[in-house]
Amino acid sequence: MTTLLFNKPYRVLTRFTDEEERRSLAHYIPVPGVYPAGRLDRDSEGLLILTDDGRVQHAVCHPHNKLPKTYWAQVEGLVDERALAALSRGVQLKDGLTAPASARRVDAPTLWPRTPPIRARKSIPTSWIELTLTEGRNRQVRRMTAAVGLPTLRLVRVRIGPWTLDGLAPGRWRRLSGRPLVTIARYVERYLDPEAPTHGSGRRREGRASAGRRRRGRQGKIPGKGSTRG
């Protein structure tokens, strides 16, 4: 089984072929047989998981797991408490109310330059939001920030579940060692119930236990962690 972490650059498609010959994963990933677990828009940047294991892809993408994904969004305008409260509660979009999210203001992060740079207007300030979601609707972050009056100018995904962009430059990838399938299962269990004991010790809350057993039945039994650079 092969699973990779990749820092997708701006204007790169999350597929390997394109009839219009736009830049795609084929320009960066020489590993045969791996496919994206989930999507990241062409105009977004950051962390993407690729795998040749359908079970890992299911564990990353299936809404039952509520695997959290964290984004840094540079938005047009100043972020206030009203906007943060709305994002945290859930925002009404055309396809329904979004699930509650974690939203907070952050200082401008130290990131690689984007090519081309964003088109900022001198008369309107920009600011940054860190937003963590547990669902994956189409262009959800952009639609959520726009709904609270803060259009997104630049969007970078920095975390998927237990994995982050740390040490990955744009266009670079890292191969995961160990058993990522069970790393996901354990992470999901702890994320959904932070007070639950670690796997194999103590008693879980009723309800969480049965959910955990169902997840482990589908996703494996033994944890794996760590990574090596590809």
Active site residues: 41
Residue 59 near residue 171 (C-beta atoms within 8 A): no
Q: Residues 32-39: contacts with CB within 8 Å, 24+ apart?
A: 33/2, 34/2, 34/3, 34/4, 37/61, 38/136, 38/160, 39/14, 39/136
Please name which of 77, 132, 123, 143 lies closest in space to residue 100, comparing C-alpha atoms. 132
The conformation of residue 75, written as its DSSP 8-state character, comes to E
Token code pair at residue 33: 């047989």
| Whether the Cβ atoms of residue 107 and residue 163 lie closer than 8 Å to each other | no
The answer to whether the beta carbons of residues 127 and 74 sit under 8 Å apart is yes
Query: Structure tokens of 159?
Result: 């975390």
